[in-house]
Amino acid sequence: PGFQVKWSGVKGGAVTSGFTAVGFKLIVPFDISNTDGIDPTNNVTNFTIRDSFMSNGDDVFAIKSCDDNVKCSTSGPVTNGTIQNIHKYSGLGISVGAATGSNVSDIDVNNIFCDGPHGGGKLNNTADTCIKIKSPSDGGSGGIVNNIKLRNIYIQNEGAAIRVYPFYNCSGTAPTFTNLLFQNITLGSNPGSVTVQGFDSDHE
């Protein structure tokens, strides 16, 4: 359990730039929780992940501008990321969040093939997701999530195809989602549900 790759800048320090991962296969047991694939986190920019195959038991990618469960406005934003030409199999999705308190912007996710399932090989497990944009959990702080492009994505055999939800067990501050682009999304067989959730009456 734990991150397979976590690329992180220094909280409050100079921005860390230039991470690139190309042409790999990452296979982690699907039935072990918190086995994130690659997580760009905290004060990073200009990262590229492409031409690869991913299968694991938690977020395939989790793009976060701070660590979970903290109020993190001083951590530093995550900006200018490209994720493209990825085959995603088992796993809980390509995720922006949970923790976004220092803001996330200018992320281009392009040419993705999602084919679950997760959860012991069972189809339609709601945890198994292709694309997630979500809030912090457990009292953390949500920031501005801006200019996220999700393009040319094929989805099949997932519990949830797309989930956009500002309340993910959220007792903290909900994030603000702006300029989210979904373009050329194809739902194949058993693609799962699509959820786009806005603010509720307690978050105006």
| Token output for 124 | 């339609």
DSSP assignments along 28-91, one per residue: --TTSTT--SEEEESSEEEEEEEEEEEE-SS-SEEEBSS-TTS--TTS--EEEEEEEEEEE-SS
pLDDT score, position 98: 83
pLDDT score, position 204: 47
Q: 39-49 burial by CB neighbour count: b if 16+ within 10 A, else e?
A: bbbbbbbebbb
**Res 70 pLDDT > 60:** no
pLDDT score, position 82: 98
Q: Is 81 left (phi over 0), alpha (psi -120 to 50) or beta?
A: beta
Amino acid sitting at position 39:
D
**Res 66 pLDDT > 80:** no
Kindly report the pTM of this predicted structure.
0.90
pLDDT score, position 11: 67
Q: How far apart are CA 171 and CA 101, in angstroms?
A: 14
**Res 172 pLDDT > 70:** no
Tens digits of residue pLDDT in 147-170: 999 999 999 999 899 999 887 655
The CA-based diameter of the chain, rounded to the nearest angstrom, is 46
pLDDT score, position 46: 95
pLDDT score, position 68: 56
Average pLDDT, the chain: 85
